[in-house]
Amino acid sequence: MHYADSVADLVGSTPLVRLRRVTEGIDATVLAKVEYLNPGASSKDRIARTIIDAAEREGRLRPGGVIVEPTSGNTGVGLALIAQQRGYRTVFVVPDKVGADRRAILTAYGAEVVVTPAAVAKEDPRSYYSVADRLTREIPGAFQPNQFVNQGGPLAHFQTTGPEIWRDTDGTVTHLVAGIGTGGTITGAGRFLKEASEGRVQVIGADPEGSVYSADPSDPDQVHANLVEGVGLTFFPETFDPVIVDAFHRVHDAESFAMTRRLAREEGLLVGGSSGMTVVAALRAARELPAEAVVVAVLPDHGRGYLGKIFADDWMREHGFDVEEQTSLVPEEVR
């Protein structure tokens, strides 16, 4: 018999797939690492498992404990599914830019969800960080993983994502492209790949317009809110090591969303907006590279949580984004 003992054992070992159509005119090989094939449908399952294991070992999480975390959704799903397997309850604080579909996923896993305004500073008592801190102080037995500080995040990617990419490309990978939320993916996987390749692998950060990571420090107007979920911060978290990143590509929300829709229609990959953003950056880099280059883009999550946003024509138009025209094959009287 061949089976996993728990969904926690299904985390990681996600496949690489070559992008075939959006890469037209590009000689280099561009591979997508499909993180939605984790059991909670995102790369965040990896950090949830590593962080909960460590908290149990260190005695910060005890039987009957409660996990409280500010999360844009995916970390919550990862934490919820591992927590429920181990008998912990979960409370998640999410900014209101996160869609209702995504919040419903968290409650479906049995978590409690608290919604807070996205458009306030981190220090504001209403911010999702502040509210999570208050709940952690007030709920007995509460443990806050704090994904923006917890070094289990980069460690999980150093121990799993990086080695998987190295193994599955037989060590031929030349470029890693990833978006940056906590920075765990790019820092952990990037560090592993740089070490394994003795510095040969180039690490490229995909960053939305508005994010602090790729902003000109002398121009505060370059840091502002954006619509791509999971990436684009207005502060530098401790889980990001800027030394690992060799170059940034700044991607406009419109380009990110257009590519996200193309990935579903042309590559059969129903993924989230940060995946579209990462592919835009990967293609920009790949366009300048020779045929021998092997570019790996990490696609962090599934598109199911964005059906009412990126994949909804009305939402796209309301937010000023173009929607591709499609002619119908169905006769008018049937539509």
* Pairwise CA distance, residues 306 & 312, whole Å: 8
List of long-range contacts for 147-150, beta carbons under 8 Å, 24+ apart:
147/47, 147/51, 147/69, 147/71, 147/75, 147/182, 147/184, 147/239, 148/182, 148/237, 148/238, 148/239, 149/237, 149/238, 149/239, 150/47, 150/51, 150/239
* Pairwise CA distance, residues 286 & 280, whole Å: 10
Q: Is 274 in the site for ligand PMP (CB under 6 A)?
A: yes
CB of 277 to ligand PMP, least distance (A): 8
Q: Is 260 in the site for ligand PMP (CB under 6 A)?
A: no
The dihedral sign for the CA sequence 85, 86, 89, 90 = negative
Q: Is 182 in the site for ligand PMP (CB under 6 A)?
A: yes
Cβ-proximal residues to 1 (8 Å cutoff; 6+ apart), any chain = none
Show the binding pattern over residues 82-111: x = contacts ligand PMP (CB under 6 A), - = does not.
------------------------------
In sequence order, which ranges of the chain are alpha helices (DSSP H)? Answer: 44-57, 74-86, 100-108, 128-138, 152-156, 162-168, 184-196, 253-267, 273-287, 313-318
Nearer to ligand PMP, 210 or 300 (CB): 300
Nearer to ligand PMP, 26 or 205 (CB): 205
- Which residue of 50, 74, 130, 174 would you call a contact of ligand PMP, by CB under 6 A? 74
Residues 289-328 that bind ligand PMP (CB under 6 A): 300-301
Q: Is 150 in the site for ligand PMP (CB under 6 A)?
A: no
Q: Is 28 in the site for ligand PMP (CB under 6 A)?
A: no
**Minimal CB distance to ligand PMP: which residue?**
230
- Which residue of 183, 205, 276, 303 would you call a contact of ligand PMP, by CB under 6 A? 183
Q: Is 205 in the site for ligand PMP (CB under 6 A)?
A: no
Residue 44 designated active-site: yes
Encoded tokens for 277: 């953003």
CB of 154 to ligand PMP, least distance (A): 8
- Which residue of 19, 34, 135, 231 would you call a contact of ligand PMP, by CB under 6 A? 231
Q: Is 184 in the site for ligand PMP (CB under 6 A)?
A: yes
Q: Is 229 in the site for ligand PMP (CB under 6 A)?
A: yes
Nearer to ligand PMP, 146 or 289 (CB): 146
Encoded tokens for 49: 């498992």
Q: Please identify which of the residues 44, 122, 194, 309 carries the catalytic annotation.
A: 44
List of long-range contacts for 61-67, beta carbons under 8 Å, 24+ apart:
61/88, 61/143, 62/141, 63/87, 64/88, 64/141, 65/89, 65/141, 65/142, 65/143, 66/90, 66/91, 66/139, 66/140, 66/141, 66/142, 66/143, 67/91, 67/142, 67/143, 67/144, 67/145
CB of 329 to ligand PMP, least distance (A): 33
- Which residue of 72, 202, 211, 214 would you call a contact of ligand PMP, by CB under 6 A? 72
Options 17-25, 116-124, 177-185, 286-294: segment touching ligand PMP (CB under 6 A): 177-185
Options 102-110, 196-204, 225-233, 255-263: segment touching ligand PMP (CB under 6 A): 225-233
Find how far residue 146's CA is from the centre of its chain: 16
Interface with ligand PMP: number of residues (CB under 6 A): 18
Active site residues: 44
Residue ranges that bind ligand PMP, judged by CB under 6 A: 42, 44, 72, 74, 179-185, 229-231, 272, 274, 300-301
